[in-house]
Amino acid sequence: MKKTGILEEDAYIYSHNNDETEKDKWKKLDRKQKLQYFNDYYKNKTIIILILLAIFISLAYSMLSPKPETVVSIAVINDYLNVEKTETFSEELAEKIGLEEGKQNIAIDASFFFEETAGAMMDMVSAQKLLARLTAGDINVIISDMKKFEELKADGTFLKISEVLGREVETVSDGYGILLSNNGILEALGSGRNESVLAVVANAKEEDFNYIDKV
Residue-wise pLDDT for 31-43, tens only, equals 777 677 666 666 6
Q: What is the pTM of this model?
A: 0.67
34 CB neighbour count, 10 Å cutoff = 14
Residues of the chain scoring pLDDT < 50: 1-9, 12-13
State whether the Cα torsion 146-129-98-184 is positive or negative: negative
Q: What is the pLDDT of residue 77?
A: 94
- 73 contacts: CB under 8 Å, gap ≥ 6: 106, 107, 109, 138, 139, 140, 141
Pairing of β 141-144 and β 196-200: antiparallel
Q: Which sign, positive or negative, has the C-alpha torsion 166, 170, 172, 177?
A: negative
100: three-class secondary structure by DSSP: coil
Ordered strands of the 104-112 beta sheet: 104-112, 69-77, 141-144, 196-200, 178-180
What's residue 27's pLDDT?
Answer: 67
